[in-house]
Amino acid sequence: MQGRTHTCGQLRSSEIGQKVRIEGWYDNLRKVSKNLGFLILRDFYGDTQVVIETEEMMNIIDGLNAESVIAVDGIVRERSSKNAKMATGDIEVVPEAIEVLGKCRYNELPFQIRHSREADENFRLKYRYLDLRNPEVKNNIVLRSKIVSELRAGMTAHDFLEITTPILTCSSPEGARDYLVPARNHPGKFYALPQAPQQFKQLLMTSGFDRYFQIAPCFRDEDARADRSPGEFYQLDMEMAFASQEDVFAIIEDVLPPIFARHGLYSTASQAPFRRISYLDSMATYGTDKPDLRIDLVLQDVTETLGGCGFGPFEGQNIQAVVISNFEGSRKVIDKLLAEVEVQSGNKGYWFRVEKDGSFVGGISKFLQENKDAVIAALGLKPGDFVGLAAGKRGAALKTAGVLRKIFGAAIPGHMDKERYEFCWIVDFPMYEIGEESGELEFCHNPFSMPQGGLKALEEQDPLEILAYQYDLVCNGVELSSGAVRNHDPEIMVKAFEIVGLGEDDVKAKFPAMYNAFCYGAPPHAGIAPGVDRMVMLIAGEDSIREIIPFPMNKNAQDVMMGAPAAVEQKQLDEAHIAIVMPEKKED
């Protein structure tokens, strides 16, 4: 059987008069009469118009459902009415023969292919193989492939060696739940799928490899978000020996901006060096450690000025303000934006406005009249300013004000330079924090990070005041990656874990390979792992990470196309020495 001579996106005026064979999916037919119709044939590369001009050819098409796969042998001719929107819009193919290669056996499709993005998400995922036929959806996957290829080329150009690390490994405390795999030959024991190749890449540094990278699959049993896929994701994992924080920054600042500028929805991306913002400054200025620097608004602490104004929710609380110039939105608009602030932050926002005559109106303005001059001075207010406010414990107030800054900044014209990719580094993270759930001292970021000040800091400083050589890469308010200068000294490692209640025996038991390897002499090393999925999502301008993953799970971590997770046969459970004990149903 003859194969195609051209793709459906290939034919041009230069092929007029040639006999060709094109193959693809029957996209749609505009039927004029029993012997005249205009068929669009679609393949991976594009579309070509096929003009049906005989009753014989029309009878073949009439016997087919849309999305059947066909081959057309015919002659290329010039179109009388050209279509500038099609790459092949100057020509059309007149068929001499039509061959059915793969018949679609359903009269109705789950959704129209070119409008699949309008369908329910679970429906799209169930029929993902049809969804991917939509050129818009397909283009995101093509873009992903190009970006991964360029990431590889960029890292190789910097003398990084691509090395794959194991998928079946041991459980490691990376901050999320592991996916466990039963070991058939070792009853009662389990492998874990890697949450990240963290230990392996550090072991490569101790093995004498100088620069490592891979497009690494990572597995975490955590809930989905718009920018996080449940189950598995990919990251540009890298590690450098004899390297400092700035060495890592230099590589990322050279590799990423050209890719964002070349393929991105916006053609402008930050150039090196990216802004460095300390964690504490970022929280105080933007209310988040993931600031969107395209927004020009900042937070101001007005606790002293407004704490005694008599407004109940402010009493005894930290108070943060965001001043927004040139905002004349209606009360309805303000209430809508503040409602979204409450949804995203879990706390209420408050407000007032400065009129042209300098008076305060709206919101909590009546509580500020006696102290108006002090408020104006503290916030540098001028007529026309709108002031958003948040109150609570300092952490909660900062978070709420940060959400308010983001929502109002994006909604109000003049405060967001949207069409650009704005990168920054968040640096100097605390080494330790008090866990929200446990109420006990925990590692704030990465347990394998080097504390600033080394062993001396661990021995002499208050743990909550110790900073670490830890850093996050942020772009347009999205955290792309976390990284750190690693703790390569066994003595410092043991002391760091002692502070959170784990002794040397615990370290040896939990990280035997890493601890022993470091005892044989390990170089200073540092690394990072930007998320590939999030990068592609930002570059493509998509709001959901599922739009750039070929076969994503839904929000409940289900693959509705393949039917996973699914029950398995008892024989398989027996071989793996697993007994299933279902949780008892709670009585009403």
CATH code assigned at 233: 3.30.930.10
Q: Which of 174-178, 479-483, 521-525 has the lowest mean pLDDT?
A: 174-178
Q: What is the mean pLDDT of residues 479-506?
A: 93
Q: Of 391, 411, 431, which residue sits at a domain end?
A: 411
Provide the pLDDT for residue 297: 97
Work out the number of other CB atoms within 10 angstroms of the CB of residue 346.
Answer: 12
Residues 261, 141: one domain? yes
| Residue 467 falls inside a structural domain | yes
The span from the CA of 454 to the CA of 433, in Å, is: 18
Lowest mean pLDDT among 169-173, 190-194, 405-409: 169-173
- Dig out the tokens for 253 from the structure: 């600042």
Query: What's 467's DSSP letter?
Result: B
Residues 208 and 267 both lie in one domain: yes
Q: Is residue 285 very low, low, confident or very high in pLDDT (cuts 50, 70, 90)?
A: very high
In a domain, 257, yes or no: yes
Task: Note the maximum CA span of the chain.
Answer: 91
Q: What is the pLDDT averaged over residues 329-346?
A: 95
What would the two tokens of residue 418 be? 């949207």
The answer to whether 485 touches 245, Cβ cutoff 8 Å, is yes
Same domain assignment for residues 407 and 430 = no
Domain boundary among 45, 80, 102: 102
Q: What pLDDT score does 396 carry? A: 95
Parent domain of 367? 295-411
Clarify whether residues 229 and 330 are in a common domain. Answer: no
Q: Tell me, yes or no, whether 69 and 192 share the same domain.
A: no
| Domain identity same for 174 and 219 | yes
CB atoms within 10 A of CB 140: 21
CA angle 274, 277, 282 (to 5 degrees): 135
Residue 59 binned pLDDT confidence (cut-offs 50, 70, 90): very high
Residues 147 and 267 in one domain: yes
153 and 247 share a domain?
yes
- Domain assignment present for 588: no
Task: Looking at the structure, tell me whether residues 46 and 68 fall in a common domain.
Answer: yes
**Do 430 and 334 reside in the same domain of the chain?**
no
Q: Where would I find the H helices in 44-171? A: 55-62, 121-126, 128-131, 135-157
Q: What's the CATH number where 27 sits?
A: 2.40.50.140
Q: How many domains does the chain have?
A: 3
Residue 287 has pLDDT above 90, yes or no: yes
Q: Where residue 587 falls among pLDDT bands split at 50, 70, 90? A: low
Residues 142 and 272 in one domain: yes
* Shared-domain flag, residues 271 and 148: yes
